[in-house]
Structure 1
Amino acid sequence: MALYARLFASAYDRVLAGSERAGLAALRRELLSHARGRTLEVGAGTGLNLPHYPATLTELTLVEPDPEMTKRLERRVASQRRSGGAQPFPVRCVSAAAERLPFPDDAFDTVVCTLVLCTVEDPVRTLRELRRVLAPGGHLLFLEHVRSGDPALARWQDRLEPLWRRLGRGCRCNRSTLETIEATGFSVLNVEHRRMPKAIPIVAPLIVGCAVARA
């Protein structure tokens, strides 16, 4: 498993490169343009979101639980600093699980999760943690794999989920994530149902949107 974790992390950017060029990077950029103030990204992976954050942020905290991904994330942050391409706000990396965030209540104005809620062990606990650390009026920005609205494709997602979860380091491509967001104290302000370009069908359905914690 340790060897596969290293291989997965080393190949991650290359595997996603075609999707990024075909439109996934544009989806990230549009979503992250709405980030404001103190921003937390959970499951930051190798840092593919990093170039897309607006310069107006106050600070950016990147949380990643996987040690192999964290190494690459830290290298990307350091590389941007050395090249002079770093953002004009503080960026820090923190090793932590999304279900147990080491931050006080109301610590952030924006929380970001992209292709993360499909992989966490406990999405309900994770979203409750995200709600806890969001300041009143703060926004949750999400771009996530979800269960297809097409019954035939959803059945294939169910059939292939056990295999895909092993190949994708925990990715459950058949989760009803929008419903879970709404069930854990968030009101969805807007959501678009999109498809991940250049992706195999079972992971192509996406939701992209913004939610706010209910009072």
Structure 2
Amino acid sequence: MKFSKTFGAVYDYLMVFLEKPWLKVRRARLLTGLSGKVLEVGVGTGTNLQYYNHEAQVTGIEPSPHMIKRALKKRDLLLFPERINLHHTGCGYDDMADLVARESLDAVVCTLVLCTIPEPERALCNFMEWLKPGGRLLVLEHIRSHNHSTGKIQDFLTPTWAKIAEGCQLNRPTDKMILQAGFQLIREDHFKIGIPFYEAEYRKPD
């Protein structure tokens, strides 16, 4: 996939209208208490990095060369930058075998990324393999509406939107896909910011 330098440059400016009023508090709730080995998939420009505490050892991956540069700059401004290692790669790339061992992770974090990953079912299978028994999957995503009419509108808009937003799928039923992958739900919250969004915590069965 070809990544846009322009999209990487303007992403934070575009997201500010969602972050401060709605997403910031949800990111903090998901991430602040994490400890142990954490994989963040699709680190983007590093929006989540400020929420990890010193007890979390974070490996962050991002396939866009333009976004990972911005994430590295944000990481270097943190109090504990040495606890966050960022890599220019993606969860379906071959080099992930060298970064993450089977059943080595305490948590996997996905925020606004499962909508874009080309093979989400494969990614979820990887998360299940990489997590320790009882390890958690934390997500903050937009999803396909459970309302038939709204879902059809998302279906109609997705082809155009995907071209603008580097493959982002407005109509991906991420909440259903996670359950189908075998994860156990801990808690979930459906909310709307124009389209349906989803905040949830899951666990890998023991």
Q: TM-score, normalised by structure 2?
A: 0.92
Which residue of the partner structure matches residue 73 of structure 2? 75
- Separation in 2 of the partners of 1:208 and 1:5? 28
**Aligned amino acid, residue 5 of structure 1:** S
Q: Which residue number corresponds to residue 63 of structure 2?
A: 65
Kept after mapping to 1: 8 A contact 2:54/2:83: no
In 1, Cα distance between the equivalents of 2:92 and 2:186?
Answer: 24
Distance in 2 (alpha carbons) for counterparts of 1:115 and 1:194? 14
Corresponding position of 2:137: 140
Structure 1, unaligned stretches of length 5 or more? none
User: Equivalent residue for 2:9?
Assistant: 10
SS for the counterpart of 1:39 is strand
- Counterpart of 2:52? 53
1:171 aligns with 2:168: yes
Take 1:37 and 1:155, find their aligned partners in 2: how far apart are those partners?
41
Paired residue total: 202
Please report the RMSD computed on the Cα atoms of aligned residues, expressed in angstroms: 1.7
Paired residues of 1:55 and 1:88 also in contact (CA < 8 A):
no
Identify unmatched segments of 5+ residues in structure 2. Answer: none
TM-score, reference length from structure 1: 0.88
Deviations 1:109-161 (A, max 9, x none): 01100001000000000011111111111100001110012222111100010
Whether the 8 Å CA contact 2:75–2:81 is kept in 1: the answer is: no
Pick one of 181, 192, 211 that aligns with 2:202: 211
Are positions 1:38 and 2:31 aligned together?
Answer: no
AA at the equivalent of 1:35: L
Give the distance between the partners of 1:92 and 1:152, measured in 2 at CA: 43
Counterpart in the other structure of 2:87: 94
Query: CA 1:34 to 1:131, structure 2 compared with 1: closer, same or farther past 3 Å?
Result: farther
